[in-house]
Structure 1
């Protein structure tokens, strides 16, 4: 795994990425519409997790910046 990411809590360089969706406001909650997307980076040692909110195009840029992609 080629990574520029270092966990700010424990210094580990191992990580996992994932994504999740959540509701945004009252109407979204009422109709169970998950219109907010987030990506996460989680340390494999201490489980510290960073959450990023961005459009799909911006997420690629964020991961390129951190992980040298």
Structure 2
């Protein structure tokens, strides 16, 4: 996913997938960064809202 983002930093799905991977690894700062980017890249208001909501939930999560 990192290679895909290096090729195309505007690939929404890769940003979202990478956020999930970082979340699974417990790297909350990187997960937040990629969710923020996904929220910015959303094609529709619904997409942007979805990723913004996920980012908000993640921001409320306690730090490890």
Do Structure 1 and Structure 2 share a fold, with TM-score over 0.5?
Answer: no
Instruction: Give the shorter-chain TM-score range.
Output: under 0.3
- Whichever structure has more helix as a proportion of its residues is 2
Using structure 1 for the length normalisation, give the TM-score: 0.25
Structure with the larger strand share: 1
Please tell me whether Structure 1 or Structure 2 has the larger radius of gyration of its CA atoms: 1
